[in-house]
Amino acid sequence: MMDKIEMKLGKKQETLLLPLWGRAVESKKDKPRLIDTKAIEIVDSLDYDFSLMSKNISWVSQLAWVARSIHVDRTIRNFIANHPSASIVNIGCGLDTTFERIDTGRIICYDLDLPDVIELRKKYFREGERRKFISCSFFDTSWYHQIDTQGGVLLIAAGVFYYFEEKQIIDFFIRVADEYPGSELFFDVASPLGVKVANKKVIQNGGIDETAILRWGIKTAKTIESWDKRIKLIEEYPMFKGFKKGYSFKMKYGLWMSDLLEIMSMVHLKIAA
């Protein structure tokens, strides 16, 4: 039997296991909405007890991680249709496999995360001319000069921003507007209610340390436009938009209620050139 790979991650970084596990679970279903064999490989190889997630995480939360990945994939594909040589900056990449699903042979992908995550990531993914690892916090401004901006820039962040205080996120968005005029951002947000639900139903029940709680919630992404006049909202929509077909009435009701209460949403922004 192959030796399991030991993880040495900070408590907040450990949350990357949640969406990884969610994609692996989905990929094993009879009719998966997303197939991620790499996620299965990683979950099976890690020296980590996923039993608490399997036992306590709801199917709604698991589907949310899958839906988010599909929304991200679609947004990237739409962006690179107009920017064939785009740079995609994956903020807080964790053990994400987006590049494997969307690579066209021309884009450049920058996987950005903290040093301990990047070290773990290197065990499963290789850098190359069009796939580069950046080992630092996204608040660290030193990474800005490493991005090739000639073909257009799309910054994505899946399951990242709500772990920080709003002031930190505001400062970051303004700095992005300074550094990357004409760029776009795509990410998920939680409502204030969503923050409470996630901290109780996902973080605690999933066996993740409570110091890794969600902190930032927002009622409407339209508010973000007030942070800087260069930031424009392209679109905001609920997490389970387009994901309610094929489920029982009871399950559809659960997804409908989550969207009605705006628990989780996807946000697409444009920075004025």
Domains annotated for the chain, with CATH where assigned, are 13-271 (3.40.50.150)
Position 138 scores a pLDDT of 97
Lowest mean pLDDT among 124-128, 212-216, 217-221: 212-216
Q: What pLDDT score was predicted for residue 49?
A: 85
With b for 16 or more beta-carbon neighbours within 10 A and e for fewer, the 99-124 pattern comes to bebbeeeebbbbbbbbeebbebbeee
How do residues 44-77 score in pLDDT, each as one tens digit?
A: 999 888 888 888 888 888 999 999 999 999 999 9
* Between 196 and 220, the higher pLDDT residue: 220
Q: pLDDT band at residue 1, thresholds of 50, 70 and 90?
A: very low
* pLDDT at position 208 over 90: no
Question: CA torsion, points 65, 71, 77, 82, in degrees to nearest 10?
Answer: -140
pLDDT given at position 200: 73
pLDDT for position 247: 86
Tell me what the mean pLDDT of segment 218-231 comes to.
96
Average pLDDT over the chain reads 91
**Closest residue by Cα to residue 239 from 137, 139, 162, 152:** 162
- The mean pLDDT of 242-249, rounded to a whole number, is 89
pLDDT given for residue 211 in this prediction: 59
pLDDT of the residue at 206: 53
pLDDT tens digits, 118-176: 999 999 999 999 999 999 999 999 999 999 999 999 999 999 999 999 999 999 999 99
Instruction: Classify burial at 81, counting beta carbons within 10 Å of its beta carbon; exposed 0-12, middle 13-18, buried 19 or more.
Output: exposed
Higher pLDDT, 11 or 79: 79
Q: What is the pLDDT of residue 50?
A: 87
Q: Which helix (H) or strand (E) holds 91?
A: strand 87-91
pLDDT value, residue 232: 98
